[in-house]
Amino acid sequence: MLTYILRRVLQAIPVFLGTTFLIYFMVFAMPGDPIAGLFGDKTPNPAVADALRAQYNLDQPFLMQYVLYMKDFVTGNLGVTFSGQSVNDVLARAFPVTLKLVLMAVVLEFILSVVTGLIAGLRKGKLFDNASLIFALVFSSVPVFVAMFLAQYFIGIKLGWAPVTVGVDTSWGAMFLPALVIALTVYVTGMRLMRGSVIESRQADYVRTAYAKGLTHRRIVPVHIARNSLIPVITNTAASFGALIAGTTVTESIFNIPGIGKVLFDAITKSEVPTVVSFVTILTVIYVIVNILVDLLYAVLDPRIRYV
Amino acid sequence: MSDPNTEHFVAPIDDAVVEVDALKLDQKKSNLWLDAWRDLRRRPLFYAALAMVTLVTVMALWPTLFTEVAPNSDCQLANSNGAAAAGHPMGFTFQGCDVYARVVWGARTSLAVGILVVAITAVIGIPMGAIAGFFGGKVDSILSRIGDIFFSIPYFLAAVVVMSVLASMRSVWTIALAIGGFAWASLARILRAEVLQVKNSDYVMASEAVGRSRMSTLLRHVLPNSLTPVIVTLTISLGAAIVAEATLSFLGIGLGDTIMSWGNDISKAQTSIRTSPMALVWPSLALTLTVLAFIVLGELIRDALDPKARARR
Amino acid sequence: MTNEPLTTDITQQANVVVEEAHDVDPNKPLVEIRDLEIGFETQGGIVHALKGVSFDIYPGETVAIVGESGSGKSTTAHGIINLLPDNGTITGGQVLFQGKDLAHAKQSELYKVRGRDIGFVPQDPMSNLNPVWSVGFQVREAIKANGIATDKRDVQARAVQVLKEAGLADAERRMAQYPHQFSGGMRQRVLIGIGLAANPKLLIADEPTSALDVTVQRVILDHLESLTRERNTALLLITHDLGLAAERATKLIVMYQGKIVEAGPSLKILQDPQHPYTKRLIASAPSLASRRISGTQVDHVGGPEAGVDVAELASKHGHGAVEAASKPVIEVKDLTKVYSIRKGGFKSEPLIAVDKISFSIPKGTTLALVGESGSGKTTAAKMVLGLEKPTSGEIIVAGTQLAGISRKDLFDVRRKMQPVFQDPYGSLDPQRSIGAIIGEPLRVHKVGDDHSRADRVKELLEQVSLPTEVAKRYPNELSGGQRQRVAIARALALKPEIVVLDEAVSALDVLVQAQILQLLADLQSELDLTYLFITHDLAVVRVVADEIAVMEQGKIVESGTADKIFSGAETEYTQKLLEAIPGSGIDWSKLG
């Protein structure tokens, strides 16, 4: 098991380097004056431009630039935003907020996937199965921002059941609605996976043998069917994390939640490319770490993997 | 313990016909694709999704069939936020443009982005996945590593970065490249997994034993049998790409203002959501239905091609 | 018999073997099946798997049901405890267990009977244990469910005992391990242990050894026999092997297409089969073939209705009367293959799959390469076919050295040597039509034009006795045996001298297998073919081989003519293989 963990972490290092390099490359290796590019389509302020040139070591050869950039990144020196705030500070404030939102969304997505998938799989072909599929598909086709609008409009304004904006009150309750909407737009994949696994498990030989042993339906469903079906669903949660990230960006802007997504959104609309790059890098690193954690979780759930 | 009934029972011989391995051929030919097609044809949902896709395609190719109103030039501020009127069934936008015309002309953009993204994803993803999976070894290590790197950047974030940097060059092509340039990694992974399974089949060994080169075996035998998840993924990706473009436009880094797209319209309409919600609703509906059609199509094809589901039917 | 109280002292537990005797009347049947009918709902309508099956099982009796796939034998086994898949239902008849009808019992009653009164041992030991739970967990849940023990320590003690009886050395430690950490044989023993854990009155074993290696099979069956005899448990054994059935059971039931065609004392049926189907089974069973041959005389089963008689085929082989003058068509010298296997951490270990083997095959004869899994026989075949590069050694095919050969020359050599593989469901590309599959070798080697190739395909289909209209169809429309014929036709397309058959008949039903063996024999004499026949089944070897080479762990441990080896093997391993042939334990002296 330990070797598996070690191997997995080691594998992640070239990926980490490659990803950060790629992001850096996309921004700074494009043709033209990189500094002008950093300003998006606005004209560069000469003083800021010079400061940025120094900050990004643009007088050095490209690879050297990347190395220095990474050095700064890894040591926690993430630079400043255009408005002069330290990126570290912004991060420290915004991260916990987004973390709450994402955690709620992940948990809700998981519950939705597992519960609907389990029932749909056990009652394959019946009404619940078909209805729940259509329901989930419709949700996944609506773009996140549209769904957010509708939720905000109908549930927030018209029905008044939930706060329309979050603002300073970043409590769990206040963020429940946006988290739920995010979860609804992505849960269809997990549900299909769970359903498929359940259908397969029901036909599995070991389930039939479990019945032959004299076990009851009530024991077999959770212990043998659901337990085995969870594995692909959990790994899918990591993949859906990427979609969740896109969701939080939009969500935080619509609901005015002061998280990383909002900062990113602001930076995008103000064309503050360096800040965009910093935050995208951070989010990507988080994504890589989440993937590793999920792989480890997979090994916990499926003993066969541990000994490979 | 002995059975007092040790009689020797023999079933009546007269009506016994021992057939060994008789050939029973159905009227119709049957293989994976033919059977899947027959299955699809039996489902009403398939026709609904297909109809929607066809509608959108026709709208994209020949918008003038649907409206004579020029979506950009006929805008009059006097009509700002106007309700539906004769000849303008969906009302007007904040700038006084005909919503219906914009919806019709917007189809072209969305579909173009979708198709381009799928094309890029396929052109990069299929060779990467197939070669990595089939040849294995060092080739696989390198290609998979590259794939992992691209896979680790959520394509949405990557598109955000690219579109932010390329602020001056926003077009359907750049957006498609931004999205497709990263989305291929997911397809490559899926195809690689399928190829890994297929390549262990005996018919692959037989192909090599006959004398085919490895590349020839890959192209003639392995790839055609690995296409199922590719087709499903690409169909669903088309829908996903359209949503991604709309989301990017919403954030302001999608297509520029000059290009007409559903995403742009929705983005602009959000400020006037309380006064004229329909300017938001109609493009949203068009977008959602289009995406839904592709996603449903993809799911139906997945079910139709699933050998396990077929065996049980 | 008194009840031995369950103590919590594990060491004492281990000595408690005999449990309370079954409370049954030995003169009344334990199970009475009356006109049982079972149907399955499929897309094409209802398939009647069982069309009225009736038989009895008495306490302590061993009954075997023999049949091919589609006969309904497995369905009967599952039907007794009503363990049918979702689309299956009992449509008629009764299953009386000690007077109670299980076919119409409530769910709760079935739960009680299963495990406690009737135990079940399934076929495939890998897929029948849940991979994510430890073995101990799965044993314990069976014990708890059947009320054998309730206190946690009692349950654990009992579970350990089950594993000990299954023959596991350090049972306590292995309780925490997972199924994939056990060998196939060990897993099957655990499953048998679970089946017997509650000391049921009847144990149903559904092909309990089909998924295991040949030498392990015998051990498992002996183990099963001793356990059931000790406890006087009735045993219902399902199998496709007539020899195995006759050897292990006193009563034999032969099923065909959902009905019982013949039933009675097993030895009597072997000696005097009445029904045409039974006669065919006996004639086609390779495991019984050797017994029916003495010298070149064959003890026929009787009548043309008996179909292919494999003993006939066998009598034509293996006598070593081959002209030594014929030059060997395949020659293998000191062939070796070493793999590098990554072990756990970051190191890799060498695995010697094939260890300096040598053999030669004269033209027009058959060499059988026999071995269990892991013996290296398939790797050897792949090297001969040029699909794997040897680590060292020589392979000479039709006079050409394969080592260091150029691609073009290898391409040419391939025309002389073609394979037929084991899995009929995997050896034909499902996307291509039969005609395209058979014609592919011709296209790849650029033989003839479209027209002449189509003619050749027709010719080949006739040679393998398939109607020519099959050419436009697809593989999934054909049965396993028919697909193998297509695979054979494909192998013959280029008129090769050599055909390498890698377990080519192992996946086929007995009667179909006999037909294919007959076809292969006919083709060999017609076309003067040389066969390299790879198999794990020594009984089949008797039927096809002139020469035999036995492989164990990469080495050839014994070789010789078929006659020589079957009349007296020299090595212990070969002796074990011979004894493992199902039916070799039958006391033939009891037959008339």
What pLDDT is attached to residue B260? 82
What pLDDT is attached to residue B11? 79
Contact status, residue C130 vs residue A206, Cβ threshold 8 Å: yes
> Mean per-residue pLDDT for C477-503?
93
Sign of torsion over alpha carbons C18, C22, C27, C30: negative
Percent of chain A whose predicted confidence (pLDDT) is above 90: 11
- Give A177's contacts (C-beta < 8 A, 6+ positions apart): A151, A155, A156, A161, A162, A163, A255
More confident residue, C387 or A82: C387
> Mean per-residue pLDDT for C38-60?
90
Answer whether B16 touches C (CB < 8 Å): yes
C-alpha–C-alpha distance, residues C84 and C102, integer Å:
13
User: Residue C58 has what DSSP assignment?
Assistant: -
C85, C116, C128 ranked by CB distance to A209: nearest: C128
Selected residues 276-305 of chain A with any CB under 8 Å from a CB in chain C: 301-304
More confident residue, C344 or C240: C240
Report the largest interatomic distance among the alpha carbons of chain A, rounded to a whole angstrom. 80
C-alpha–C-alpha distance, residues B293 and C189, integer Å:
53
Lowest mean pLDDT among A118-132, C293-307, C397-411: C293-307
- Mean pLDDT, chain C, rounded, equals 87
More confident residue, C220 or A50: C220
C-alpha–C-alpha distance, residues C464 and C486, integer Å:
8
pLDDT band at B234 (very low <50, low <70, confident <90, very high): very high
What pLDDT is attached to residue B52? 93
Lowest mean pLDDT among B268-272, B286-290, C15-19, C332-336: C15-19
pLDDT band at C437 (very low <50, low <70, confident <90, very high): very high
What pLDDT is attached to residue C419? 95
Answer whether C384 touches B (CB < 8 Å): no
Reference C191, options B250, B264, A210, A247; nearest CA is: A210
Percent of chain C whose predicted confidence (pLDDT) is above 70: 91
What is the per-residue pLDDT across B50-71, written as a single tens digit (0 to 9) for each?
Answer: 999 999 999 899 888 887 777 7
Reference B296, options B117, B113, B53; nearest CA is: B53
What is the per-residue pLDDT across B171-212, written as a single tens digit (0 to 9) for each?
Answer: 888 889 989 999 999 999 999 999 999 998 999 999 999 999
> Mean per-residue pLDDT for C492-505?
94
Answer whether C339 touches B (CB < 8 Å): no
Decide if A228 and C132 are in contact by the 8 Å CB cutoff: yes
More confident residue, C583 or A141: A141
Contacts 24+ apart (CB under 8 A), C519-526: C519/C464, C519/C465, C519/C485, C519/C488, C520/C488, C520/C544, C521/C313, C521/C316, C523/C463, C523/C488, C523/C492, C524/C364, C524/C366
The size of the A-B interface in CB pairs under 8 A is 134
* A interface test, pick of B52, B56, B160, B282 with most A CB neighbours within 10 Å: B160
What pLDDT is attached to residue B1? 39
Asked whether the predicted pLDDT for residue C213 surpasses 90, the reply is no
Distances (CA, A) of B301 to B49, B178, B231, B295: 11, 27, 8, 10
Lowest mean pLDDT among A284-288, B166-170, C444-448: B166-170
Asked whether the predicted pLDDT for residue C9 surpasses 50, the reply is no
C114: nearest CA in chain A? A214
CB atoms within 10 A of CB C553: 15
Asked whether the predicted pLDDT for residue C215 surpasses 70, the reply is yes
What pLDDT is attached to residue A101? 87
Asked whether the predicted pLDDT for residue C296 surpasses 50, the reply is yes
What pLDDT is attached to residue B221? 94
pLDDT band at B313 (very low <50, low <70, confident <90, very high): very low
Contacts with C418 from chain B: Cβ below 8 Å: 209-210
How many Å is the Cα radius of gyration of chain C? Answer: 26
Asked whether the predicted pLDDT for residue C382 surpasses 90, the reply is yes
More confident residue, B113 or A73: B113
What pLDDT is attached to residue A33? 56
Decide if B247 and A246 are in contact by the 8 Å CB cutoff: yes
What pLDDT is attached to residue C530? 93
Selected residues 141-160 of chain A with any CB under 8 Å from a CB in chain B: 141-146, 149, 153
Lowest mean pLDDT among A94-108, B262-276, C34-48, C380-394: B262-276
Q: Which chains touch B (3 or more CB pairs under 8 A)?
A: A, C
Asked whether the predicted pLDDT for residue A164 surpasses 50, the reply is yes
Contact status, residue C135 vs residue C168, Cβ threshold 8 Å: no
Sign of torsion over alpha carbons B142, B147, B152, B158: positive
Following DSSP, what letter does each residue of chain B receive, concatenated?
Answer: ---S----EE--STT-----S-----SS---HHHHHHHHHHT-HHHHHHHHHHHHHHHHHH-GGGT--S-TTTT--GGGTT---BTTBTT-B-TTS-BHHHHHHHHHHHHHHHHHHHHHHHHHHHHHHHHHHHHH-HHHHHHHHHHHHHHHHS-HHHHHHHHHHHTGGG-SHHHHHHHHHHHHHHHHHHHHHHHHHHHTTSHHHHHHHHHT--HHHHIIIIIHHHTHHHHHHHHHHHHHHHHHHHHHHHHHT-SS-TTS--HHHHHHHHGGGTTT-THHHHHHHHHHHHHHHHHHHHHHHHHHHH-HHHHHH-
> Mean per-residue pLDDT for B305-313?
57
The CA distance from C471 to the nearest CA of chain B, in Å, is 11
> Mean per-residue pLDDT for C525-546?
91
What pLDDT is attached to residue C592? 44
Lowest mean pLDDT among A123-132, A212-221, C45-54: A123-132
Asked whether the predicted pLDDT for residue A39 surpasses 70, the reply is no
The CA distance from A180 to the nearest CA of chain B, in Å, is 19
What pLDDT is attached to residue B79? 64
Percent of chain C whose predicted confidence (pLDDT) is above 90: 54
- Give C541's contacts (C-beta < 8 A, 6+ positions apart): C368, C370, C533, C535, C548, C562
C-alpha–C-alpha distance, residues B99 and A221, integer Å:
52
ipTM of the complex in this document: 0.84
C86, C127, C198 ranked by CB distance to A205: nearest: C127
Asked whether the predicted pLDDT for residue A208 surpasses 90, the reply is yes
Lowest mean pLDDT among B237-246, C112-121, C304-313, C559-568: C304-313
Selected residues 2-31 of chain A with any CB under 8 Å from a CB in chain C: 3, 7
- Mean pLDDT, chain A, rounded, equals 80
What is the per-residue pLDDT across C574-587, written as a single tens digit (0 to 9) for each?
Answer: 998 888 888 777 76
What pLDDT is attached to residue C415? 92
More confident residue, C74 or B264: C74
- Token pair, residue C129, equals 């244990």
Contact status, residue A9 vs residue A299, Cβ threshold 8 Å: no
Decide if B154 and A284 are in contact by the 8 Å CB cutoff: yes
Contact status, residue B60 vs residue B108, Cβ threshold 8 Å: yes
A206, A215, A303 ranked by CB distance to C145: nearest: A215
Decide if B161 and A23 are in contact by the 8 Å CB cutoff: yes
What is the per-residue pLDDT across A26-37, written as a single tens digit (0 to 9) for each?
Answer: 777 655 555 655
Element (H, E) at C41: strand C31-42
For residue C444, with 0-12 CB atoms within 10 Å meaning exposed, 13-18 middle and 19 or more buried, which class applies? Answer: buried
C-alpha–C-alpha distance, residues B36 and B310, integer Å:
9
Decide if C56 and B5 are in contact by the 8 Å CB cutoff: yes
C-alpha–C-alpha distance, residues C139 and A49, integer Å:
72
- Mean pLDDT, chain B, rounded, equals 84
Reference C559, options C577, C574, C544; nearest CA is: C574
What pLDDT is attached to residue A37? 54
What is the per-residue pLDDT across A230-247, written as a single tens digit (0 to 9) for each?
Answer: 888 888 887 777 778 777
- Give A99's contacts (C-beta < 8 A, 6+ positions apart): none
What pLDDT is attached to residue A42? 63
Contacts with B11 from chain C: Cβ below 8 Å: 259-262, 275
C-alpha–C-alpha distance, residues C81 and C331, integer Å:
55
- Give C562's contacts (C-beta < 8 A, 6+ positions apart): C314, C317, C318, C319, C368, C541, C542, C545, C546, C547, C548
What pLDDT is attached to residue C302? 64
What pLDDT is attached to residue A192? 87
> Mean per-residue pLDDT for A12-18?
84
Sequence letter at residue B228: T
B156, B284, B288 ranked by CB distance to A246: nearest: B156
- Token pair, residue C239, equals 């199998």
Q: How far apart are the first and last CA of chain A?
A: 9
C-alpha–C-alpha distance, residues C462 and A150, integer Å:
69
**What residues form DSSP beta bridges with C90?**
C38
> Mean per-residue pLDDT for C46-54?
92
Answer whether B1 touches C (CB < 8 Å): yes
The CA distance from A17 to the nearest CA of chain B, in Å, is 9
Asked whether the predicted pLDDT for residue B3 surpasses 50, the reply is no
Contacts with C342 from chain A: Cβ below 8 Å: none
Decide if C130 and A214 are in contact by the 8 Å CB cutoff: no
For residue C476, with 0-12 CB atoms within 10 Å meaning exposed, 13-18 middle and 19 or more buried, which class applies? Answer: middle
Phi, psi of C2 (to 5 degrees): -90, 160
Phi, psi of C204 (to 5 degrees): -100, 125
> Mean per-residue pLDDT for B258-275?
78
Element (H, E) at C455: helix C450-463
Reference C34, options C108, C113, C139, C104; nearest CA is: C104
B203: nearest CA in chain C? C427
pLDDT band at A134 (very low <50, low <70, confident <90, very high): confident
Asked whether the predicted pLDDT for residue C377 surpasses 90, the reply is yes
Selected residues 134-173 of chain C with any CB under 8 Å from a CB in chain A: 134, 141-142, 145-146
C116: nearest CA in chain A? A214
Q: In what order do the strands lie in the sheet with C88-97?
A: C45-57, C31-42, C88-97, C100-101
pLDDT band at B4 (very low <50, low <70, confident <90, very high): very low
In C266-411, at which residue ranges do the beta strands (DSSP E only) sit? Answer: 293-294, 297-298, 328-343, 347-362, 366-370, 392-397, 400-401
Contact status, residue B287 vs residue B246, Cβ threshold 8 Å: yes
Reference C191, options A115, A212, A84; nearest CA is: A212
Decide if C145 and A224 are in contact by the 8 Å CB cutoff: no
Contact status, residue C426 vs residue B202, Cβ threshold 8 Å: yes
Decide if C198 and A217 are in contact by the 8 Å CB cutoff: no
Asked whether the predicted pLDDT for residue C322 surpasses 60, the reply is no
More confident residue, C169 or C412: C412
Asked whether the predicted pLDDT for residue A10 surpasses 70, the reply is yes
